[in-house]
Structure 1
């Protein structure tokens, strides 16, 4: 599918309405064929002349925001991060076509909970020359592409590095469940495949962290020909790993989950800092909190994702173990393990790597979110793995 570039910094020259429920963008119709290249591209458009919303950091809350929506009159780290990125449209929206309503009161949700009428919008960050081999950095649950902010500059010297926000996180679409996306793990597998097809045309290396590892491995099992390397950062590998920690499973609880998922401090700060030595700086916390401060859609998405993880994770972990140990698995696979992980025990990890004949690299000072604790070091590790300079 052909598509056209629009860097997000140019969006401010379009129809951004700060006083409206969110930021409106009207798309110009293309006037000539568009040539596809390897760099990230975006066409912000709909199938009709109607405007649709994009959830930019200056958007006002939808009534379910603890922070009342826009929380600063000055530029914030969240704004700066947003300006560096692009929106890529991928994966068809298959909802009813109706406007989303909140699951508690049945009220019409704000712009952040509404999907576009054709394809989902994914927030992506790229660094390095698109002529180089592409490395896609995939965040875990719950997190954002922002977690790779220290890794991207290191990889960009040799590679075309791309990080993105999963649907339901960060600046990507966060539709209300049953209005285009239900946040099941099967949906994440298929939507990830759609995104990969938009981002790259050649072979790619994938780096994925934490609880989204089984999703990526399931995709990779059917697309091994597209992968050069797979690097897993503290993935759930054992039967004990298939249970969500209390800091995450709380979001799946009836009623209590709905309440806690709307609390920015619990949904971002506590969830990210309870799993290892990571000490969150205030500037970084502002980026992670922003989705929960500007719209209730992030909390409802988190609630839905937690329920899916709690229900499906065990099956997905077992399937990932089977795939990675299968004799037909041909992708060069490396497992990096932050030894200070408070969520996933190291017990059984070394044994699994030996039996599956996959490389194991240990990072003694990192926790579950390896890229947060040792970003620059992880970038060098990934460089070494991809250039085959790392020996076990």
Structure 2
């Protein structure tokens, strides 16, 4: 009996230690995510950072109308193996919203700011995760410094004309003829209902979409001059389309490891945009999900599992 009690005590003590260790690990993982700021050419850039900087780096580039908040699941789940950094562009998220008289809101200029940000952080070897606006930012980084890009993780980040869906109709009219009328026709995209639609259109279950996403975006798009700035970016997007051949040549020449994790019901970038990458990249880890534009909202766990497996193969 005495031996039984001693054995039981040892077992209970061991379980206690295991539970304490697990709690400490969970605490470490939770506290690992940091919310930081730095100044780049006079503009305060906010960014989220997680993981050990000695591990392989993934730069998370957000879309419209979002911010680094869209990558919260990636930051929380992959920090155990990877160094993750997710900046907010000028005018987005928690970064400065400089007056358009002092900052030129074009994709060229935003990419320049993000490149300077990464150089300031001494990040010169990294994978990029791109989504929506993250694609034109990411491909500018890649074509300027192909030697720095270790891989591309692509969640509805377009680089082909056949990947422009029906939702671009109003913006294409703006490209053709920018007038008060073509601008006004796009303003519903900045309303709360319009922003909510971008997150919930094409999803299987709208209850999987965090309402903080579109509510935060609406708050930021309600600031003075926010509509004008984002209309400027809508108009400038046509210059991304003109660069598609250059980006495609980069893919052909460099053959970066490419993971496709694409929401097929995206009205802006349908599955045809994902398929197009097969023309230029020989080896693609190709995955399509029955969801919408912000696929991480509904299928984040499955996508993050794919990212982990993809990155592990790169770093063997």
**Contact map agreement 1:126 1:163 (CA 8 A) in 2:** yes
Match in the other structure for 1:290: 219
2:246 pairs with 1:319:
yes
Deviates more, 1:332-341 or 1:161-170: 332-341
Worse-superposed segment, 139-148 or 340-349: 340-349
1:214 pairs, out of 117, 125, 136, with 136
1:163: which partner in 2? 86
Measure, in 2, the Cα distance between the counterparts of 1:234 and 1:186. 20
Is the contact made by 2:167 and 2:267 (CA closer than 8 Å) also made in structure 1?
no
TM-score normalised to the size of structure 1?
Answer: 0.62
Q: Pick closer, same or farther for the CA change 1:157–1:226 going to 2, 3 Å.
A: same
User: Which is greater in Rg?
Assistant: 2
Could you say which structure has the higher helix fraction?
A: 2
Are the counterparts in 2 of residues 268 and 288 from structure 1 also a CA contact under 8 Å?
A: yes
User: What is the CA-CA distance between 1:305 and the residue it aligns to?
Assistant: 0.9
CA separation in 1, counterparts of 2:170 and 2:205?
A: 17
**Aligned equivalent of 1:362:** 287
Equivalenced residues, count: 276
Alignment of 1:171-250 (within 5 A): 171-177=94-100, 179-242=101-164, 245-246=167-168, 249=171
> Do residues 301 (structure 1) and 251 (structure 2) align?
no
Structure 1 residues 192 and 298 mapped into 2: Cα distance closer, same or farther (>3 Å)?
same
Q: What displacement does 1:244 show?
A: 7.5
1:120 is aligned to: 43
Give the Cα–Cα distance (whole angstroms) in 2 for the partners of residues 343 and 305 of structure 1.
15
Name segments (4+ residues, structure 1) moved above 6 Å: none
User: What is the correspondence of 1:24-103 to structure 2 with a 5 Å cutoff?
Assistant: 85-90=35-40, 92=41
Give the Cα–Cα distance (whole angstroms) in 2 for the partners of residues 348 and 270 of structure 1.
Answer: 21
User: Structure 1 residues 282 and 206, CA, compared in 2 at 3 Å: closer, same or farther?
Assistant: closer
Alignment RMSD (CA, Å): 3.0
In 2, Cα distance between equivalents of 1:191 and 1:244: 31
C-alpha displacement of 1:207: 0.7
Cα gap change, 1:351 to 1:297, in 2 (>3 Å): closer
The residue number in structure 1 matching 2:21 is: none
TM-score (norm 2): 0.76
Cα shift at 1:155: 0.9
Answer yes or no: is 1:342 the counterpart of 2:292. no
The structure 2 residue matched to 1:265, chosen from 192, 201, 209, is: 192
Task: Assess if the C-alpha contact under 8 Å between 2:60 and 2:84 holds in 1.
Answer: yes
